[in-house]
Amino acid sequence: MNPLQLVVRADVAEALAQHRPVVALESTLIAHGLPWPLNLETALVAEKAVRDEGVVAATIAILAGAPTVGLSETELRDLAQQENVIKASRRDLAATIIRQQTAATTVAATMTLAHRAGIRLIATGGIGGAHRDTHPWDISADLTELARTSVTVVCAGAKSILDIPRTLEILETQGVPVIGYGTNEFPAFFVHSSGEAVTARVDTPAQAAALMHAHWSLGGGGIVLAQPLEEHATLDPNEFMHALSEAERLALGVGVRGKELTPFLLNRLAEITEGQTLRANHLLVIANARLAAQVAREYARFPL
């Protein structure tokens, strides 16, 4: 096949052709973010949350070299159970395609493929960002992708394992609006709030869609739309920081770095917190998928 050709499944292609709303979902959480069978359950329930809003769900991954927009349930199950699935960011897409490999796509890679397909919203758990002092030069490609690709990423903020003030400074430098949904403070994934201010606040899906339309009318790139996980489901900030320090110590001890660092830390945090982080991750992914669908439905009201 032509390496630049996307496999866009029929329901997704039909919706896009008719200017009906579609939400893309990233697949790294399936292959690398959550253990079996919670990973498959989360993926299926997140897609259902999108469909329950009358919106088409399109999970994105690379299957045997084919960048695919809209995985079937069988393909989701296979991705959730396979071992040694590649974690592909934007830089990895071409190599993965020409080698005919199977890969789960990060936020950055999902944004790239979604935009090529014509999808303007993706849902995820949390965006990547700048890591803390132990790995100060480890900065996620999600941030540069947000600077150049006109897609809105609905999330629960940046992953709690990151240096959130630095992450927000980088986004500001790149001209990326960081919008709080129903909040004036940037959420921190497992933790309800980072204490850092957002760029602006919206309180309805219609307001979020209007902001997207205005930003892109001005030639802007990506947008972060961040809603906090409900407070009863989040972790206590002090307990979380204690667990994170222990996970970082373990990572430093075995020399984990680069794209393997985030899944390593998330796995260790799940162990240290006795599954609290897994439960929170499951809930926030579903909540973000639902919000993304609501915003996509409102954005579809704007003319092309």
Active site residues: 26, 159
Find the helix packing angle between 164-173 and 141-148, rounded to 10°: 30
Sign of CA dihedral 105, 111, 112, 116: positive
| Whether the bond into 228 is cis, omega within 30 of 0 | no
Residue 46 DSSP symbol: H
Angle made by CA atoms 141, 147, 153, in degrees to the nearest 5:
75
At residue 97, what is the residue type? I
Q: What tokens does 15 get?
A: 């919706």
Neighbouring residues of 263: CB distance < 8 A, sequence distance ≥ 6: 32, 33, 87
Q: Which of 141, 149, 241, 151 is nearest to 191 (CA)?
A: 241
- What is the C-alpha to C-alpha distance for residues 241 and 235, in angstroms, rounded to an integer? 10
Q: What tokens does 220 get?
A: 């802007």
